[in-house]
Structure 1
Amino acid sequence: MSAVSTATGADRRERPGTHRTGGGFPGAFASEWTKLWSIRTPYVCLVAGLVVTGIFTFYYGSIARINDKPVQPVGNAPVSSVVLTQFALVVLAVTVVTSEYATSSVRTSLLWVPVRHRVQLAKALLSAVVGLVAGVVFGVLGIAAAWVPFRGHADFELSKAVSQILAMAVYCALTGVMAVGVSFALRTAAGAVAVLFFLISALPSMLIGLGGPVLSAVNDAMPQTAGGHLMLGDGSAPYPAAVGLLILVAWAVAAHAAGAWVLRRRDA
């Protein structure tokens, strides 16, 4: 009897220690990582991004050659393709959040990680990491695909190419963080994608189409416009590339704060 009691007491003493070896933010991030790669959506989104990058950049180089455009950095091709490929990463980031709301499995996530903001932060970091890596891969692929059809209408300067690829990666990462924040705020895939499409693509096109100094100034503060200035890095923007980066960070932080506010206020 005494031996049983001793064993039970030892088991109880070991449980707290065992519990402390996992959990926390690393555990939340590991859980989100496993959940992401257990569904097909991220693979479909990343493959779609690769295909669109290859086709777009090859076409971009061909058009530049046919129209006898001035020589430009070869990295301009993948940078231009981001206007399309970014939405593959947006859909991926939105799915990270809204798929759990659609199936009510978010309740399980919040049960196992009761600190709600930790769940959101883990999903945001996951989307940022995937976006960062995808941005580098898209950039390298885009340069390789565009180089041949350019045929003398592009130059390859290693430092410029690397800076543009890294800028692409940062833009993709911050766009993913913004998408996660909007998804937590709206909780539906259709709503989140619609709002993100409007903010990232539709609204800037409307502002440019309407014209005028005031609307142009507003457009300069939009995430896609700021990202374009950051990625091109050609010095023709109304502000330095560092300011474009700060604008992107501000959009990502604002979206994350909105998502965190809704997550705290509303039941899952």
Structure 2
Amino acid sequence: MSAVSADVNDGRCDRTACGHTGGGLVGAFASEWTKLWTIRTPYVCLLVGLIVTAIFTFYYGSIARINDKPIQPVGNASVSSVILTQFALVILAMTTVTSEYSTSSVRTSLLWVPIRHHVQLAKALLSALVGFAAGAVWAVLGIALAWGPFQGHASFELHKVVYQILAMGVYSALVCVMTVGVSFALRMAAGAVAMTFFLLSALPSMLVGLGGPVLLAINAYLPQTVGGYFMLANGKAPFPDVVSLLILLVWAGAAHMAGLFVLRRRDA
């Protein structure tokens, strides 16, 4: 009897020898990549983000010229559009999770990849990759479209432009990671969208509207606010850009861990 046969009979079959290689992170990522691009949602979300960026940045440049605002970095137009375009990425990232729970196909995913963290991490990495690419592309598009309407009310400094393009991509990626975590924690599309919208947009608006030093101080640490500091990098933030990035990483990491906790506790 061969060594492999002996291991099989003893219940100790080596995964490589027996040809079983499932459950790995690379395989999980490849599976998520295939699943994502076989549905319409990501294409619709990316197209909507592209259209909104084009309209918003052209309008932003036009208003800056009409109101005779001081000269500003041309990339500010793209950064300002993120308050809207980020929700296209929220829907995209959420769909990678909630669509499987709504159809119970998550059970199949967990059977193929029994290491729970690999399932969530693969979805988070894929969403982050798509988010970074989309954010960077939208930033470039916004800069190109806003430059004309600005008509001398914007500056083009290469190092600043490159920074804002990359920063917008990083922020978009971290928003996607946070959304995946929230989606695993809540498992329902409506709940995930509502919670993410509240955290990114509604809560900051409420705190700014109510005003006061305490509420404004709290608002400074919320994802959208600190993301704005990070992307604009205009020296007006209450802390350095590196600290802004670290705060964003904490938010994304906290959401990821919350989702993992629920996944391990409740499974499918």
With normalisation by structure 2, the TM-score equals 0.94
Correspondences of 1:92-171 after superposition (within 5 Å): 92-171=92-171
Q: Distance in 2 between matches of 1:64 and 1:267?
A: 51
Moved more, 246-255 or 21-30: 21-30
Aligned-partner SS, 1:215: helix
Q: Distance in 2 between matches of 1:100 and 1:63?
A: 43
1:85 aligns with 2:80: no
Q: Distance in 2 between matches of 1:152 and 1:15?
A: 64
In the alignment, is the contact (CA less than 8 A) between 2:136 and 2:166 conserved in 1? yes
Residue 45 of structure 1 aligns to which amino acid in structure 2?
C
Aligned-partner SS, 2:58: helix
Please state how far the C-alpha of 1:22 moved relative to its aligned partner.
5.8
1:56 aligns with 2:53: no
Per-residue displacement from partner, 1:42-74 (whole Å, max 9, x unpaired)? 000000000000000000000000000111000
Per-residue displacement from partner, 1:136-166 (whole Å, max 9, x unpaired)? 1010000001000000000111100000010
Q: Distance in 2 between matches of 1:115 and 1:267?
A: 11
The count of residues paired between Structure 1 and Structure 2 equals: 261
Q: Distance in 1 between matches of 2:155 and 2:18?
A: 57
Q: Distance in 1 between matches of 2:215 and 2:164?
A: 27
Q: Distance in 1 between matches of 2:16 and 2:152?
A: 66
1:193 aligns with 2:193: yes
Give 2:242's aligned residue. 242
Residue 135 of structure 2 aligns to which amino acid in structure 1?
G
Give 2:43's aligned residue. 43
Percent identity of paired positions between Structure 1 and Structure 2: 72
Aligned-partner SS, 2:19: helix
Give 2:213's aligned residue. 213
In the alignment, is the contact (CA less than 8 A) between 2:23 and 2:115 conserved in 1? no
Give 1:67's aligned residue. 67
Residue 31 of structure 1 aligns to which amino acid in structure 2?
S
Residue 79 of structure 1 aligns to which amino acid in structure 2?
V
Structure 2: which 5+ residue stretches go unaligned?
none
Against the structure 1 CA distance between its residues 32 and 131, is the aligned structure 2 distance closer, same or farther, given a 3 Å change threshold?
same
In the alignment, is the contact (CA less than 8 A) between 2:23 and 2:118 conserved in 1? no
1:27 aligns with 2:23: no
Per-residue displacement from partner, 1:167-200 (whole Å, max 9, x unpaired)? 0000000000000000000000100000000000
In the alignment, is the contact (CA less than 8 A) between 2:229 and 2:237 conserved in 1? yes
Residue 44 of structure 1 aligns to which amino acid in structure 2?
V
Please state how far the C-alpha of 1:23 moved relative to its aligned partner.
4.6
Q: Distance in 1 between matches of 2:71 and 2:259?
A: 44
Q: Distance in 2 between matches of 1:61 and 1:215?
A: 31
Please state how far the C-alpha of 1:243 moved relative to its aligned partner.
1.1
Q: How big is the alpha-carbon RMSD for the aligned residues of Structure 1 and Structure 2?
A: 1.8
Against the structure 1 CA distance between its residues 148 and 101, is the aligned structure 2 distance closer, same or farther, given a 3 Å change threshold?
same
